[in-house]
Amino acid sequence: MLAFGLLLFYVIGTGDNLSFVAYLITIVTCALYFNYFVGFNKRRFTVSIIIFFLLLLLSMVIMVLDHSYQSIIDPLRSRMLDDRIKQSPSGLAATQFTFGYQIAAFTTFAVVATFVFNRHFFIKTLVLCICLVFIYLGMNRSAFVSFSLALTVFLLAYYRFKAVFFIVAVLAVGFGIYTYFLKNNLDDKNNILSKNQAKEANDFNRAGMAVENLKVYADYPYGLIFYGKNWEDATYRNPAFPFGLSSHNAYLMFLTYLGPFLCIGLLAAIYYRIIRLSREIISHIRLKHNTILACLLFSFISVSFNALSHNGWLLTADGPTLFLYFSLMQGAKIYSLPPKNVFVENVAELVNAVC
């Protein structure tokens, strides 16, 4: 289904054959890695997860250093990425938009892990504070919103009604960190709040672009591919999208190109297993065998929320999104539950469906 979605969107829709081939190779490589190299080996799976998030942590550290040592860090970033640096400060990404997915994935995974692995309150607070510093300096508002939404969903699933107290506590900790540490001690020019003020001073805002995108969709309700048009053809007179600028909403762009029937059908097919797995994990979130899957799930939810404000998502082979998608699929095969549990039959059925 991923390949079919790529074919429709990039070959038939945008006519970008090069991107189609590049993304297809990336997706197939990731799928082969998890299915054949990792397989059912729990140790390889765990090591893969650890290495992935250690690389994300390295990216976070590079971003923090880039605020103070840009003349040193930017050439290092360029050499590591083998690409021209377009935005700074940032981590192991050419742009801050791409880096936002790394922030959303890492911070959500780290905070959720402290809860599901039952770490001490001090550790939970420390990890939360560090993640808030990364978000603050990362200058990516959508990553902050995605992190907040994913963490709220997790707390509601994990603590039920008691989650209200934890949400209030998290807000209090965040306010305290900003007031007594971030506001006066870190970069006062390059941070998420200064960037937000700069965005408000110009006409570039995601909500307005989404509205304009919906107007374009209303003109071509069956999808651009059925009218023989691409995005540039449909928006060349629209001042909201100069030079073919997109609405920066991956799902809305997918809908605009393919129309409601193909779009909804493909999204349902692509995310069916994830949705089914999510239901099972959230229903039994406190089981020890679900700990790593819960961390991966909410990290995936966070980067999926982030795609509402950017172009990167599963079909663009976005790094964190793609890795988390296949790791969840493979994790469902690897991790089994204790015997004499009513959930065993459901997981067995899920694993068979994934296979």
Helical axes 319-334 vs 96-116, angle rounded to 10°: 30
Higher pLDDT, 206 or 298: 298
Task: Decide if pLDDT at 4 tops 60.
Answer: yes
Local confidence band at 184 (pLDDT 50, 70, 90 cut-offs):
low
Local confidence band at 82 (pLDDT 50, 70, 90 cut-offs):
confident
Q: Which residue, of 202, 233, 253, is where some domain finishes?
A: 202
Q: Do 236 and 312 lie in a common domain?
A: yes
Local confidence band at 244 (pLDDT 50, 70, 90 cut-offs):
low
pTM of the full structure: 0.86
User: Mean pLDDT across the chain, nearest whole number?
Assistant: 83
CA dist list (Å): 299 to 104, 127, 205, 351: 7, 15, 25, 21
Task: Decide if pLDDT at 278 tops 70.
Answer: yes
Per residue in 124-183, pLDDT tens? 989 998 998 899 888 888 899 999 999 999 999 898 877 788 788 777 877 777 676 666
Burial of 330 (0-12, 13-18, 19+ CB in 10 A): buried
Q: Which residue, of 151, 181, 202, is where some domain finishes?
A: 202
Q: Do 263 and 233 lie in a common domain?
A: yes
Q: What token pair was written down for 73?
A: 């860090």
Q: Do 196 and 213 lie in a common domain?
A: no
**Which domain, by its residues, includes 90?**
42-202
Q: Do 277 and 335 lie in a common domain?
A: yes
Q: Do 252 and 190 lie in a common domain?
A: no
Q: Do 258 and 344 lie in a common domain?
A: yes
8 Å CB contact between 20 and 26: no
User: How many domains, the chain?
Assistant: 2
Collect all residues with Cβ–Cβ distance below 8 Å to 127 and sequence separation of at least 6: 110, 111, 113, 114, 119
Task: Decide if pLDDT at 350 tops 50.
Answer: no
Q: Do 118 and 257 lie in a common domain?
A: no
Coil/strand/helix, residue 338: coil
Task: Decide if pLDDT at 351 tops 80.
Answer: no
